[in-house]
Amino acid sequence: MSMPGPVSAQQMHFAEPLPLRSGAVLRDYTLMYETYGTLDATRSNAVLVCHALNASHHVAGVYADQPKNVGWWDNLIGPGKPLDTDRFFVICVNNPGSCFGSTGPMHVNPDTGRPYGSDFPVVTVEDWVDAQARVLDRLGITQLAAVMGGSLGGMQALSWTLQYPERMRHALVIASAPNLSAQNIAFNEVARRAIVTDPEFHGGHFYAHGVVPKRGLTVARMIGHITYLSDDSMEAKFGRSLRAAELSYSTQEIEFQIESYLRYQGDKFSEYFDANTYLLITRALDYFDPARDYEGNLSSALSRAQAKFLVVSFTTDWRFSPLRSREIVKALLDNRRDVSYAEIDAPHGHDAFLLDDARYHGVVRAYYANIAAELNA
């Protein structure tokens, strides 16, 4: 295992418009991205990692001047890690509409000269995949060794195999789903209502008012956070533990540790995340549904896929339950695709895909070792 050097973010500017599924175009945009490892001479060892709701292009390593800002999937990706950057060249692109540097709602709309705000066009998983493909084009990468993502990132990985079936050998779809359930959409909708009904949302143009809809964004994040954790892990970590020795009998003061934790998570999130981005990304989740154009038949929808697949789910994930991953597996098998499926017995709910679980990481490590062997053959 070699020592990783510090990483740095890069950007690409695109002057040619990006046509979006909504019919709108992104006229002119910049994408932030990071790479780790070295692209080999035949440009065959590239792995694209797709990020989920609240993550960025900073997927692994640390910046030279920010030693504590560790990439969000650093436990999985790096030298000697399951996705070994000594062997693979890893790329992660911050999606347009996000709030981590790529063109998004807080940037200036060239059509109006003021921040996009809620005028930023609705972007879909398919649009993000198109944007990522343009980055790969510029990098001269015709075919990926693999595309990988968890949760919403897994949806992007799946969509890659349908939009650009020739451009990857493998797809790793982790803790994901072929679409959102009614309950998933319901949670997203409540979160959005909390944001847009906050008076400081100002119809999505709060930047001009020097405020942010912090209250709404905090509540939105608290709702989301509950769905990321399993009932069991919340019970194990917090249970009914009180913050003080005695009850204070108050409706507004914190009594239980779980309240303290959730408020902290909500507050922290509301200080760095953009409210318009939250709306856009939850909507992209809602819309994703490759079977929509196939009368709901996922097997028909996935018939275009050519990649080999690793699908991973976690037993206690109730946001994207194993049942949803098995729908993907079945649809791939219906098409006689090469698919490996691992259902990991893990207590942490949806968040498990971000955690360092030995069985989970073992499966991913073995899968990438096979890809490496295939490339060497």
Q: Which of 16, 111, 235, 271 binds a copy of itself (CB under 8 A)?
A: 235
Residues in the chain: 377
Is 232 one of the annotated binding-site residues? no
> Per CB under 8 A, does 181 bind a copy of itself?
yes
Residue 93: how many other CB atoms lie within 10 Å: 28
- Cβ neighbors of 4 (< 8 A, separation 6 or more) are 36, 60, 61, 78, 79, 85
Which one of 57, 58, 348, 350 is the catalytic residue?
Answer: 350
One of 129, 280, 328, 371 touching a copy of itself (CB under 8 A): 280
H or E, element range at 314: strand 308-314
Q: Under a CB-based contact definition with an 8 Å cutoff, are residues 210 and 253 in contact?
A: no
Buried b / exposed e over 36-54, threshold 16 CB at 10 Å, is bbebeeebbbbbbbbbbbb
Among 106, 139, 234, 333, binds a copy of itself (CB under 8 A): 234
Q: Specify the stretch interacting with a copy of itself by CB under 8 A; choose among 155-163, 248-256, 307-315, 367-375.
A: 248-256
CA–CA dist 108, 120 (Å, integer): 10
Q: Which of 56, 98, 102, 151 is catalytic?
A: 151
Q: Does 348 bind a copy of itself (CB under 8 A)?
A: no
Our answer to whether residue 151 is catalytic in this structure is yes
Catalytic residue flag (residue 356): no
Nearer residue to a copy of itself within complex by CB, 169 or 237: 237
Give min distance, CB of 188 to a copy of itself, in A: 9
Whole-number Å distance between alpha carbons of 120 and 137: 25
Listing from the earlier edge strand, what are the strands of the sheet with 10-14? 10-14, 29-36, 89-93, 46-50, 144-150, 168-174, 308-314, 339-344
The answer to whether residue 56 is catalytic is: no
Q: Point out which span in 9-17, 28-36, 222-230, 355-363 binds a copy of itself (CB under 8 A).
A: 222-230
Write down the catalytic residue from 51, 317, 348, 357.
Answer: 317
Does 359 belong to an annotated binding site?
no
Residue 5 is classified by DSSP as P
| AA identity, residue 265 | Q
When asked if residue 118 is in the footprint of a copy of itself (CB under 8 A), the reply is yes
Q: How far apart are the first and last CA of the chain?
A: 23
Of the candidates 33, 37, 32, the one whose C-alpha atom is nearest the C-alpha of residue 5 is 37
Exactly one of 1, 247, 358, 377 binds a copy of itself (CB under 8 A); which one? 247
User: Exactly one of 180, 328, 346, 354 binds a copy of itself (CB under 8 A); which one?
Assistant: 180
Nearer to a copy of itself, 84 or 289 (CB): 289
Chain residues that interact with a copy of itself, rule: CB under 8 A? 21-24, 118, 121-122, 179-183, 185-187, 189-190, 192-194, 196-199, 215, 218-219, 222-223, 226, 229, 231, 234-235, 237-240, 247, 249-252, 255-256, 258-259, 262-263, 266, 276, 279-280, 282-283, 286-287, 289
Q: Which residues are catalytic?
A: 151, 317, 350
Q: Which residues are annotated as a binding site for substrate?
A: 221, 351
